[in-house]
Amino acid sequence: RICNYPHKVALASVLAVGTFEGQRDMETALEEFARDQGCDVMIAFGRVGWEEKMTPGWRKFAAQYIRSL
């Protein structure tokens, strides 16, 4: 999804693929799509611990919390 923030436009995606290597295969296409849409950044939501496996240029930015009802 494309997110329009006050100072940035972001492509936000969920890393939900069969294998982590599958995410790497899609990253080039996602980056090209994001640039074509005028995005400044890409945001990826994934599992804890994946920051060690991300390709260069990614950094951990925030945490997401969930609470059962």
Give the pLDDT of the chain (69 residues) as one tens digit per residue: 999 999 999 999 886 666 667 777 788 889 999 999 999 999 888 777 777 778 888 888 887 777 888
Q: What is the pLDDT of residue 42?
A: 92
What residues contact 2, with CB distance under 8 A and at least 6 apart?
A: 9, 10, 11, 12, 37, 39
- pTM of the predicted model as reported, rounded to 2 decimal places: 0.72
Q: What is the pLDDT of residue 32?
A: 94
The single-letter code of the amino acid at 5 is Y
Q: What is the pLDDT of residue 17?
A: 63
